[in-house]
Structure 1
């Protein structure tokens, strides 16, 4: 059977690696959108909006494709934690998360560019961080350099040592791509994974 091409609208190597686990051919394209939260926008709303924008951004280049967009925002209390981008920002984020629960909202969108159908779901993971020392924060950042990860915590790598416990339905969502939701969405579009 002839299936529409699958496109991942992301520059994240982590999302690419996760999608490769499904063993379905796909292409990657850079979404090139501004990820700044809008004034008054909740973390959940930011993740939802950005995942949809990322998916839609690839439609002009891939008008026949099913396009995957995903975005993750971490929430500590009322404060959104995005990608730190710098060492200083990462230190600040990790200090503020010590001993606290952080909620990671990972939005997933599957956009059918051919017919305009768009499915969007949110996976929620709650993570409790350990009480780590300044030395441990610096050691982690030096070794992992997680400057392109929301909340500076790369759970699929050494960042797991920062975490004391987690709650959520899909551990892949915490890495950046909710594969359990994606398999369901692909089935709804007639794409079998198995």
Structure 2
């Protein structure tokens, strides 16, 4: 019987940590220290993939015996990336721009195990249709939820679901920030099967 390698989540996101806890695997959390500045001409999907891989690689370089998960999410409206608003005013502007529209949330996950040379990554796009929101609805939501640390200013796992007309995805946790179906597949390839004790 081989010993399961240590698992590390290379992320400071509490949402990703909470999602990974669903797999009931022991894991540590390490901040990846990665510059998240987009490259010139980089598409939102490519940005998400690059950052997920960079986060996994940064932590794997420090912990080569561990299996490391990196993840990133970039929202896209009309080809333009939408980041975390940070402030109430920016969140208002984001939700006004998205009302009545479809936004693609590109959620990428990368898994690396430096000791074995394993490196894998996957993208889980989520198409989200926002309702045609009134200004008063936007204001009430933001004052209630304060989702200023979420791409696109909305948290679908709580009151933010009321902002939406539809969510289309084949990996249901991708919108929250970590696509667990794809994560499980990559972990199995790296030698960690969540269903094996």
Distance 2:129 2:74 in 1: 16
- Runs of 5+ unmatched residues, structure 2: none
Residues 46-84 of structure 1 show CA distances to partners (whole Å, capped at 9, x for unaligned) of 001000111111123312111000000011112110111
Q: Which has the higher mean CA deviation after the structures are superposed, 25-34 or 68-77?
A: 25-34
Is the Cα contact below 8 Å between 2:112 and 2:190 reproduced in 1? no
- Map 1:124-139 onto structure 2 (within 5 A): 124-139=125-140
Distance 1:118 1:134 in 2: 45
Indicate whether 1:6 and 2:45 are aligned: no
Which residue is equivalent to 2:69?
Answer: 68
TM-score by length of structure 1 reads 0.97
Distance 1:60 1:93 in 2: 36
Which residue is equivalent to 1:47?
Answer: 48
- Runs of 5+ unmatched residues, structure 1: none
Residues 146-189 of structure 1 show CA distances to partners (whole Å, capped at 9, x for unaligned) of 11111111111111111111111012000000000011111112
- Map 1:1-194 onto structure 2 (within 5 A): 1-194=2-195
Look up the SS of the partner of 1:171 in the other structure: coil
Distance 2:65 2:160 in 1: 38
Distance 1:60 1:188 in 2: 19
Residues 107-152 of structure 1 show CA distances to partners (whole Å, capped at 9, x for unaligned) of 1000112133210100011000011111111111111111111111
Runs of 4+ aligned structure 1 residues displaced above 4 Å come to: none
Is the Cα contact below 8 Å between 2:174 and 2:180 reproduced in 1? yes
Look up the SS of the partner of 2:160 in the other structure: helix
